[in-house]
Amino acid sequence: MNEDMHVLYRPQNFDELLGQDHISKSLLGFEESGKWPHAYLLTGPAGCGKTSTARIIADKLGALKNNITEIDAASHNSITDVRTLTEGLQYTGFGENPTKIIIIDECHALSKSAWQGLLKSIEEPPSHVYFILCTTDDHKVPKTIKTRCNAYTFRSVSVDDLCELIEAVCDDQGIKFEPKMVTLLAREAEGSPRESLTLLSVARGAENIEELRELLETASENKSVIELCRLLLKPNASSAWTKAIRLVKEMEDLPVETVRLTVLAYMTKVALGSKNPPVEALQIMDAFSGSWNETEKKAPLLLALGDALLGE
């Protein structure tokens, strides 16, 4: 399967969490003792390791894939969604390991009634159930929830640490970047390991710092388009369309032809850098082929998204 760099180099262990030693030490303590809390609240800037940490916790608890439920509260935030999530929690998971993991991303988007519906389950979870809440806005998380969770605040990662990450990935991928190009990438990532690797995916073909600046300027101006590209490559069937529409709305002032060309450029880089047949990237390129008429506004973009996300 074709994977973007931030997916390919996602941390797999607590000691691989970049710039989060204070969190790694605490979680390693739980791993060594085998005594895990049943509720976690992971807060901090986007792209600094919250969701990766949630998945590592799930892995360390030995939860089987079918017993891990991961939802995006930005699109599943009602009391009905929470009831669906908590129904049947009293029953153990399938398979040899009974552990069930509930990961709620962007949990701050939950409605007031949804939080109320979730409180009882977090306060008194069955012995086989663990909750992991992730958010970039902990101020919107009710105090009643915070006090019942082990809370961890992720920090923005330093430029030096990001440079080390980028250099390691460049070595592994055979990318030849001068030190000043690596530093520029790290600064543009604004403290986010995920963003640094996303930008590296976009700019890996740059041969000098001038070309790199040009590619980064395009990526910076079209961050919603870049996020859309990541979504297209790694869609979550239950929420991909909802997320895609949100991103399209954020592109209100961006010409659709610019969106199309940015998607094609991104997918071309992914295809050229893939070690395996880049099936997904080529399918997306096909959906976004052919020039688009600006008079049709966002219609061509929606049709292309339909082909890429909903087509067989």
Q: Does residue 294 share a domain with residue 203?
A: no
Which percentage of the chain shows pLDDT scores above 70?
A: 94
pLDDT, mean over the chain: 88
Q: What is the pLDDT of residue 112?
A: 94
pLDDT band at 235 (very low <50, low <70, confident <90, very high): low
Tell whether 239 is covered by a domain: yes
Residue 201 banded pLDDT, cuts 50, 70, 90: confident
Tell me what pLDDT residue 145 has: 96
What span, in angstroms and rounded, lies between the C-alpha atoms of 271 and 205? 12
Residue with tokens 């300027």: 217
In a domain, 76, yes or no: yes
pLDDT band at 1 (very low <50, low <70, confident <90, very high): very low
pTM: 0.73
Indicate if 290 and 251 belong to the same structural domain: yes
Q: Which of 136, 153, 170 is the last residue of a domain?
A: 153
154-191 pLDDT per residue, tens: 999 999 999 999 999 999 999 999 999 999 999 988 89
pLDDT value at 8 more than 50: yes
Question: Are 79 and 181 found together in one domain?
Answer: no
- Tell me the angle at which helices 256-273 and 279-287 cross, rounded to the nearest 10 degrees: 160
Q: How confident is the model over 127-131, as a mean pLDDT? A: 96
CA distance 270 to 129: 38
Report the distance separating Cα 244 and Cα 220, nearest Å. 18
Question: How far, in Å, CA of 299 to CA of 167, rounded?
Answer: 41
The domain spanning residue 97 has which CATH number? 3.40.50.300
Tell me: do 119 and 35 sit in the same domain: yes
Among 109-118, 240-249, 262-271, the range with the most confident prediction by mean pLDDT is: 109-118
Query: Which tokens in the block code for residue 235?
Result: 């869609």
Q: Say yes or no: 285 and 188 in one domain.
A: no
Complete edge-to-edge strand list for the sheet that includes strand 39-43: 68-72, 100-105, 129-135, 39-43, 150-153
The reported pLDDT for the residue numbered 219 is 63
Distance CA 61, CA 129 (A): 10
In this structure, the chain runs to a length of 312
Tokens of 207: 């041969």
**Which among 53, 109, 119, 108 is positioned nearest to 83, based on CA atoms?**
119
Last residue of a domain, one of 122, 153, 184: 153
Predicted local confidence at residue 4, as pLDDT: 66
**Residues 191 and 80 occupy one common structural domain:** no
CA distance 74 to 84: 16
Clarify whether residues 34 and 125 are in a common domain.
Answer: yes
Residues 12-63 have pLDDT tens digits of 999 999 999 999 999 999 999 999 999 999 999 988 999 999 999 999 999 9
Selected residue with higher pLDDT from 74 and 153: 153
Backbone angles phi, psi at 150, to 5 degrees: -80, 110
Domain assignment present for 4: no
Last residue of a domain, one of 153, 185, 212: 153
Compute the distance between CA of residue 6 and CA of residue 198 in angstroms, rounded to an integer: 6
Q: Is residue 294 part of a domain?
A: yes
Structure token pair of residue 208: 């000098």
Residue 276 within a domain: yes
Confidence of residue 2 (pLDDT cuts 50, 70, 90): very low
Task: Say what the pLDDT of residue 224 is.
Answer: 82
Amino acid, res. 61 = L
pLDDT of residue 236: 64
Please check whether residue 181 lies inside any domain of the structure.
yes
Say if residue 231 is in the same domain as residue 211: no
Is the same domain home to 266 and 231?
A: yes
pLDDT tens, 267-300?
887 787 666 778 888 889 999 987 787 777 888 8
Count: domains in the chain: 3
**What's the half-sphere exposure (Cβ side, CA atoms, 13 Å) at 231?**
23
* Residue 311 CA: distances (Å) to CA of 266, 286, 287, 300, 307: 20, 12, 10, 15, 5
User: Considering the domain boundaries, does residue 13 fall inside one?
Assistant: no
| Listed range (112-121, 138-147, 162-171, 253-262) with the worst mean pLDDT | 253-262
Kindly state whether residues 180 and 111 are assigned to the same domain: no
Lowest-confidence segment of 30-39, 59-68, 219-228 by average pLDDT: 219-228
Do 121 and 167 lie in one domain? The reply is: no
Please identify which residue in the block is written with the tokens 């607590």.
14
Enclosing domain of residue 94: 20-153
- Quick one: 181 and 279 in the same domain? no
pLDDT at 122 over 90: yes
The DSSP string of 35-58 is ---SEEEEESSTTSSHHHHHHHHH
Find out whether 267 and 308 touch, Cβ atoms under 8 Å.
Answer: no
How far is it, in rounded angstroms, from Cα 78 to Cα 111? 6
Domain assignment present for residue 15? The answer is no
E strands, 82-217, where?
100-105, 129-135, 150-153
